[in-house]
Amino acid sequence: MRIAVIGGGVAGTAAAWAARRGLADVTAIFDRAGASSLYSGALDDVPWEEGGLDAPLDSEVLAFSVALDAWSVGTKSARVATPDGVLRPARGRDSSLLDVAAVTGGRVAVVSTRVDGWDAPVLARSLAESAWARRTRTRFEVVHVDDVFDAAEGRASVHDLATLHDDPERLKRLAARLRERRDAPDAWLFGPWLGAAPGVGEALSQLLGKPCGETTSLPGGPAGARFDVSRDALLANGGVQIRQERIQSLEPRGKRHLVAGSGGGLTTNDGGFDAVILAIGGLVGGGIVLNESAVATDDAALASGSLHWGAFRPSVRSRVEIGLSGRTLDRASSERGLDLAALGMTALERVGILCDGAVARGASSIFVAGDVVADHPRTALGAARSGILAARAALSLAREVDGEPRAAT
Amino acid sequence: MKVEPASNRGDVDVVVIGGGVNGTGVARDAALRGLRVALFERNDLAFGASGNSSGMIHGGPRYLTYDPDVTYTSCLDSGHIQSIAPHLLFRIPFLMPVRKRLGSKVELFALDAFFDLYDRYQPLKHGKQHVLLDEDDVRRLEPGIVGELEGGVSFDEWGIDGARLCVASAVDAQEHGAEIRTHCTVTELLRGAGGAIAGVRFRDRLTGETGTRNAPVVVNATGAWAPLTTALGAVSSRAARLRPGKGIHVYFDRRLSNYAIVCSAIDGRQVFLEPWQNMSVIGTTDDDYYGDLDDCIATTDEVRYLVQAVERIFPSVRGARAIGTWAGVRPTLFEWGPNEDALSRDHRVVDHAADGMSGLYSMVGGKLASYRLFAEEATDVVASRLGRSSKSTTHTTPLPGGDKELDPLLFAKAHHLEPMAAARLLYRHGTRAQRIMERVKKTPAEGATICPCEPVLEAEVRYAVDCEWAKSVDDVARRTRLGLGACGGMRCAARCGAIVAEMTERSPAEGRGLALEFLDRARRKRAPAVGPEQAREEALSLASLRASLGVKAVTVVE
């Protein structure tokens, strides 16, 4: 049975991985990852500011985290530092991030070096004044380390800085320099500069014998790059076919789905797929877009009545319904359609495809995962879980097609 | 009646209420004349109409037919403003296309004659003479214009950054002895013997500190807030009544046209698509306003009114990326009857002796282009009440930074800056940019670029806090345009908040609070202009906040 997974972020990767484990013939189709490439490296199952971290993780989600090289999800929750000086709990983390909880009560050195926009004194002060640090008596101190980067390098983008540490020789030199310090702290906290490849933070920790790691990344930082690298390895090693192109349409033909892409590799003549998992991302990833034609307000469009109320649509043409708060999004709050100011800007994150479980409402063989699901909380582990559920549902449909009874999902 | 100038310590000759162009203009004028001045601003300098206007320093050909005096005085003063703040002025060439239709030949002929008349005022402001253009000329100058054209005319105006103008005036006032207090609201107008004004009571809105300042003269320069201000002295709010008119602008992430293009809105009003510093701006609307003055925000339908007006003649505006809106309330002179557009833009100093409070004067009406003249007139009234006969020198004394013009390329080379960053820095600060670069020389770390969209150095942020009364990220943004570019502060607000908090002895958590406050407010101003591109940017900035600060702290109106 053929399953197409559209989208290369966390949800799509988890779906393709899980579908492949269920022995389906899986094709992963994506141009590039959206929101997942922009993530911070902290892994949550519920949004961290909502103070979640309660339920134990699904064993398949744990298995997926292990399979994905870049991630580290332990039994206890981690605590990571953001570049704006917040110490926040996380269910897991990119393994190059420093887990401050591992050195509770100890001394953490905040590395000061010349990088544009990196202000170690402010960061250390901010981390030290947090409630957690005060409660646990964990200290944060600025430690100046010369020539982590030279003056010219310090002006480069964080991604380029991170790439420099992919070189093992350079990493060894850095470890040697840190080892020379007499006032050795219990852990070293760096900015997001420890490798565009997964595992550089861990490698440095091993060289030094002390926990070393980064703060979280801001959008465009190296955490997303490391996710991309480990995704490609996971899918290729797992025997998933990868097609790098942008999907344009998804059409039903009989019980199958025809997928057409922009690259010419995918055409409607290749027989189609038994099930499709849409993991195309929300507004950040570009899976849901503001409808241009609704924004076009010229006289002709007004006269012909071709304006679409609702204004949002999926970037892939298909028979799915866009909704918010469980209802179809057909509200008109101004002549221009939806007034985002009236809707509330956080609604931007919650607009998506309406589903029942993992099944798109009204399209029984289209399954939906990740940020594109309406009202779905935007977390990495939540996306992984929804990808796995979508794969299970798709596999169950595939078995039904093969004449087996449909298993409960 | 004459009154004695102040003699006690802590007392001043004149209290000015309001930190817009009029208030800072009066404070500067009075301080230059040697008067002791205290200025109180309830929000921030240029918080109201002054910081939210199109910034046009023009004589307004618009007023020529029914208010030629306004045109004359505005043109004259535009010339003065250029000579005192050459760095802050930028030339805006205008293009007025005429569509081909019945009678359009006559229309173009009349327009040409009209601008012949306007040309007489141009030398006052060093403007160029108008040019009559045929259809080919118009298309060559501005290829984006569509439709059959009869031709057009080009003419010449000047623009200014209203917020920078207010800051420069306030700095000059302070350097001549004035006390400037922002985020400090006047809570009462105090009465002395015989009912005359004796001073003001104030409360600092950030620290909660309260106090009084005695003064024999108080100038109410609070713009649209003027009636509220007079009411603080138990003077009827009708004594300084206005026809408050809301005006909004939409701004885009880049320059969309070479010329400012005059367009016609659905109701026949003229609106402009105008290159403004490094962006393009469309403005403006003019509607009676009855809402909250401290929280005036554009609506989606106001944005649509402007964009559709421009779209008819310059359709590519539809695909352009709107990144924000300004909204302000004009303190237009009160008149019953005429529609908003036909209201006079003249100004008046109201003496409240007739209302039972002598020594209190309200500045009502006026426009940005004639702010200096208005301030001079008001200060003349103040000086004469105090028995001083000194003359205004604000038209000949350069504003801080305006003493000479520096070459951006040489400046860039001398200070190892990107030419773009140097040009923007010199635009905002003139020769005072040297003081900012001295900071970098002293502390090289301050050379870091905080806001990559609108190149803003850390030193400039610190300078704004040290020397320009910035107390929040919002205040820094108003002075430096930090966070107002395409990324909407996503990459710089948190860092700026940390700097402001550190310099004002607040905790890093409070610094993050300042950043969130700014981002939240900026988002509300962008929301009405959001199109497809911007919606993604918004979602991204939300994700970024969640990643680093958590979004729960942001108050969301839903």
Please tell me the predicted confidence (pLDDT) of residue A117.
78
Residue in B302, B545, B548 to test binding to A, most A beta-carbons within 10 Å:
B548
Which residues of chain B lie closer than 8 angstroms to A375, CB-CB? none
- Smallest Cβ–Cβ distance between B548 and the set A116, A216, A378 belongs to A216
Parallel, antiparallel or unpaired: strands A187-190 and A42-43: unpaired
Per-residue pLDDT band for A285 (boundaries 50, 70, 90) equals confident
Please tell me the predicted confidence (pLDDT) of residue A308.
46
**Cβ contact (<8 Å) for A349 and B509?**
no
* CB contact set of A206 (below 8 Å; sequence gap of 6+): none
Per-residue pLDDT band for A348 (boundaries 50, 70, 90) equals confident
Which residues of chain A lie closer than 8 angstroms to B536, CB-CB? 283-284, 286, 289-290
Per-residue pLDDT band for A398 (boundaries 50, 70, 90) equals confident
* Stretch B142-165: mean pLDDT: 94
Which residues of chain B lie closer than 8 angstroms to A216, CB-CB? 547-548
Please tell me the predicted confidence (pLDDT) of residue B248.
96
* Stretch B310-339: mean pLDDT: 90
Per the prediction, chain A carries an average pLDDT of 86
Which residues of chain B lie closer than 8 angstroms to A114, CB-CB? 445
- Smallest Cβ–Cβ distance between B304 and the set A40, A117, A297 belongs to A297
Top mean pLDDT of A25-39, B131-145, B337-351 is at B131-145
* CA separation for the pair A146, A332 (Å, rounded): 58
Per-residue pLDDT band for B558 (boundaries 50, 70, 90) equals very low
**DSSP three-state, residue A54:** coil
Tell which residue, B265, B285, B286, B288, has the closest CA to residue B335.
B288
**pLDDT value at B539 more than 90:** no
Please tell me the predicted confidence (pLDDT) of residue A306.
41
* CB contact set of B102 (below 8 Å; sequence gap of 6+): none
Between these two residues, A218 and B545, which has the higher pLDDT value? Answer: A218
Distance from chain centroid for Cα B153: 28
**Cβ contact (<8 Å) for B535 and A349?**
no
- B555 has a chain A CB within 8 A of its CB: no
Per the prediction, chain B carries an average pLDDT of 91
* CA separation for the pair B357, B360 (Å, rounded): 6
Please tell me the predicted confidence (pLDDT) of residue B9.
53
End-to-end CA distance of chain A: 18
- Tokens standing for residue B508: 């890093």
- A117 has a chain B CB within 8 A of its CB: yes
**Cβ contact (<8 Å) for B548 and A348?**
no
Residue with tokens 């960053």: B421
The Cα of B134 is separated from the nearest Cα of chain A by a number of Å equal to: 27
DSSP class of A55: S
**pLDDT value at B315 more than 50:** yes
ipTM above 0.85, yes or no: no
Of A178-187, A366-375, B381-390, which range is least confident? A178-187
pLDDT in tens, A311-333: 788 888 888 888 888 888 876 77
- B548 has a chain A CB within 8 A of its CB: yes
Residue in A155, A348, A350 to test binding to B, most B beta-carbons within 10 Å:
A348
Residues B300, B304, B306, B308, Cα dihedral to 10°: 170
**pLDDT value at A406 more than 60:** no
* Stretch A52-76: mean pLDDT: 86
- Tokens standing for residue B375: 């301030």
Bridge partners for B213 per DSSP: B200
**Cβ contact (<8 Å) for B546 and A88?**
no
- Smallest Cβ–Cβ distance between A219 and the set B311, B540, B556 belongs to B540
Residue in A119, A345, A349 to test binding to B, most B beta-carbons within 10 Å:
A345
A 272-291 → B contacts, CB under 8 A:
282-284, 286, 289-291
Smallest CA–CA distance from B557 into chain A, residue: A344
**Cβ contact (<8 Å) for B449 and A116?**
yes
* Stretch B259-278: mean pLDDT: 92
Smallest CA–CA distance from A157 into chain B, residue: B452
* Stretch B182-189: mean pLDDT: 97
**DSSP three-state, residue B198:** strand
Distance from chain centroid for Cα B449: 25
pTM: 0.89
**pLDDT value at B362 more than 60:** yes
* Stretch B126-150: mean pLDDT: 94
Which residues of chain A lie closer than 8 angstroms to B547, CB-CB? 39-40, 42, 82, 216-219
Please tell me the predicted confidence (pLDDT) of residue A407.
46
Please tell me the predicted confidence (pLDDT) of residue A362.
81
Counting one residue from A and one from B, how many pairs have CB atoms under 8 Å apart?
Answer: 153
* Stretch B133-153: mean pLDDT: 95
Q: Are A196 and A162 within 8 A, CB to CB?
A: yes
- A293 has a chain B CB within 8 A of its CB: no
- B531 has a chain A CB within 8 A of its CB: yes
**Cβ contact (<8 Å) for A345 and B556?**
yes
Which residues of chain B lie closer than 8 angstroms to A84, CB-CB? 494, 498, 512, 515, 548-549
Percent of chain B with pLDDT over 70: 97
| Phi-psi map region of A174: left, alpha, beta (phi>0 left; psi -120 to 50 alpha) | alpha
Parallel, antiparallel or unpaired: strands A275-278 and A247-253: unpaired
Q: Are A45 and A385 within 8 A, CB to CB?
A: yes
- B520 has a chain A CB within 8 A of its CB: no
Please tell me the predicted confidence (pLDDT) of residue A325.
87
Which residues of chain A lie closer than 8 angstroms to B307, CB-CB? 297
Of A247-256, A276-285, B544-553, which range is least confident? B544-553
**Cβ contact (<8 Å) for B304 and A88?**
no
Please tell me the predicted confidence (pLDDT) of residue B554.
44
Smallest CA–CA distance from B525 into chain A, residue: A341
Q: Are A74 and A262 within 8 A, CB to CB?
A: no
- Smallest Cβ–Cβ distance between B558 and the set A88, A119, A346 belongs to A346
* CA separation for the pair B500, B511 (Å, rounded): 7
Residue in B462, B523, B536 to test binding to A, most A beta-carbons within 10 Å:
B536
**Cβ contact (<8 Å) for B318 and A218?**
no
**Cβ contact (<8 Å) for B547 and A40?**
yes
- A50 has a chain B CB within 8 A of its CB: yes
Please tell me the predicted confidence (pLDDT) of residue B555.
41
- Smallest Cβ–Cβ distance between B539 and the set A216, A335, A348 belongs to A348
Parallel, antiparallel or unpaired: strands B360-365 and B347-351: antiparallel
Please tell me the predicted confidence (pLDDT) of residue A295.
45
pLDDT in tens, B173-183: 999 999 999 99
pLDDT in tens, A138-177: 999 999 998 788 878 877 888 899 999 999 999 999 999 9
- A122 has a chain B CB within 8 A of its CB: yes
B 286-305 → A contacts, CB under 8 A:
297, 299-301, 304
Residue in B308, B312, B541, B546 to test binding to A, most A beta-carbons within 10 Å:
B546
* Stretch B58-77: mean pLDDT: 78
**Cβ contact (<8 Å) for B556 and A335?**
no
**DSSP three-state, residue B257:** coil
- B552 has a chain A CB within 8 A of its CB: yes
**pLDDT value at B553 more than 60:** no
* CA separation for the pair B210, B195 (Å, rounded): 23
Per-residue pLDDT band for B388 (boundaries 50, 70, 90) equals very high
**Cβ contact (<8 Å) for B547 and A298?**
no
The Cα of B313 is separated from the nearest Cα of chain A by a number of Å equal to: 12
Residue A400: other Cβ atoms inside 10 A: 14
Please tell me the predicted confidence (pLDDT) of residue B365.
92
Please tell me the predicted confidence (pLDDT) of residue A310.
56
Please tell me the predicted confidence (pLDDT) of residue B411.
97
- Tokens standing for residue A278: 């849409």
Parallel, antiparallel or unpaired: strands B149-160 and B449-451: unpaired
- A325 has a chain B CB within 8 A of its CB: no
**pLDDT value at A206 more than 70:** yes
Per-residue pLDDT band for B488 (boundaries 50, 70, 90) equals confident
pLDDT in tens, B82-116: 999 999 999 999 999 999 999 999 999 999 999 99
Amino acid at A195: G
* Stretch A361-375: mean pLDDT: 91
Please tell me the predicted confidence (pLDDT) of residue A293.
54
Q: State the greatest distance between any 2 C-alpha atoms of chain B, in Å, as a whole number.
A: 72
Smallest CA–CA distance from A113 into chain B, residue: B445
Smallest CA–CA distance from A81 into chain B, residue: B548
Which residues of chain A lie closer than 8 angstroms to B490, CB-CB? 219
- A298 has a chain B CB within 8 A of its CB: yes
Top mean pLDDT of A72-86, A99-113, A345-359 is at A99-113
**pLDDT value at A300 more than 60:** no
**pLDDT value at A390 more than 70:** yes
* Stretch B419-424: mean pLDDT: 94
Angle at CA of residue A82, ends A79 and A86, nearest 5°: 75
* CB contact set of A378 (below 8 Å; sequence gap of 6+): A35, A47, A282, A349, A371, B543, B546
**Cβ contact (<8 Å) for B530 and A88?**
no
The full DSSP string for A79-93 is: EEE-TTS-EEEESEE
**Cβ contact (<8 Å) for B528 and A125?**
no
pLDDT in tens, A16-56: 999 999 989 999 999 877 889 889 999 998 888 776 656 67
**pLDDT value at B162 more than 80:** yes
Preceding peptide of B393 cis, ω within 30°: no
**Cβ contact (<8 Å) for B532 and A296?**
no
